[in-house]
Amino acid sequence: MTPAALWCMAPDRVEIRPGLMGEGVLVEAMFSGISRGTERLVASGRVPVSEHIRMRGPSMEGDFPFPVKYGYCSVGRVTEGRLKGRAVFALFPHQTHYRLPEEALTPLPDDLPPDRAILAANTETALTVLWDSGAGAGDRIAVVGAGVLGALIAQLAARLPGAEVTLIDINPDRADLARALGLSFALPEDAPQDCDVVIHTSASQAGLSLSLSLAGQEATVVEASWHGDTAVAVPLGGAFHSRRLRLVSSQVGNIPATRLPRWTYARRLAKALDLLRDPRLDVLISGETNFADLPTEYASILAAPGTLCHRIRY
């Protein structure tokens, strides 16, 4: 049977159309997750021409800007081969079923619910950002932007012994999210100063400016947002040089050089799934939609400011 897949056809217009099956063992999708930040840029046609090749996702079809089949948070059940009957995570777009080589599938831990495992790609990114930040035990850490990625980074950073972690957002409702994850929360005007590490995830110029203002002497500011084709002014005047700040980029497509001798992509993804065994993380899934309803719902899901990770059920 020909699989059905979600295709972005024009700015903020999607359709369900046939998708390629691929090669390997058969996987029947159970859930997939909408990664709102990246998918909103893709759906609006805002992937820069310079990034058209680098931004191609695994098993993506079509070409940027449109039409394109895009996504990378799929959880399904294998129906044949060595992994038959196992629930697995795959970097695959929103599609009803597909084939992939067994080595491209990561089995879920037995005690990880498949409906939470859609957060694996975001958790893998969060782990990479924390590595790039160099954050350590006892550090004062500010995470600016309380979306899925920011919340995951803050939750991981809070596991460092003695770390003082604050999740910061302009939306006061995100205080409930922080509380559910056992984190401190602050509005921008109440954010802690002289931080050892500041991580920015809000994808806004104001958020980046705030992040630089919170950094202490010789501190590190990690830019974890992807701004697409938006030009962002970076305030490098003021105290930027006198404080000898370090502005560092982070991107999940590569493993940081300090870990590359020991870490593989497979090891990093397996660790991300292991970290998702915490049931508190269910709070990051803000809604659910049946796959068949996506053509009428997708644009509003991406536009809603309250969307965190939105789950698709097959």
CATH of the domain at 243: 3.40.50.720
Instruction: List the domain range (segments joined by +) for residue 151.
Output: 123-249
Global confidence as pTM: 0.96
* pLDDT number for residue 182: 97
**Crossing angle between the packed helical segments 120-133 and 148-157, to the nearest 10 degrees:** 60
Judge if 163 and 51 occupy the same domain: no
Judge if 96 and 148 occupy the same domain: no
Judge if 109 and 129 occupy the same domain: no
Domain count along the chain = 2
Structure confidence by residue, pLDDT tens digits, 42-68? 999 999 999 999 999 889 999 999 999
Query: Is position 190 within any domain?
Result: yes
* pLDDT number for residue 1: 85
Judge if 94 and 151 occupy the same domain: no
Judge if 95 and 153 occupy the same domain: no
Judge if 104 and 168 occupy the same domain: no
* pLDDT number for residue 266: 96
Query: Is position 217 within any domain?
Result: yes
Contacts (Cβ under 8 Å, ≥6 apart) of 127: 156, 268, 271, 272, 275
Judge if 53 and 165 occupy the same domain: no
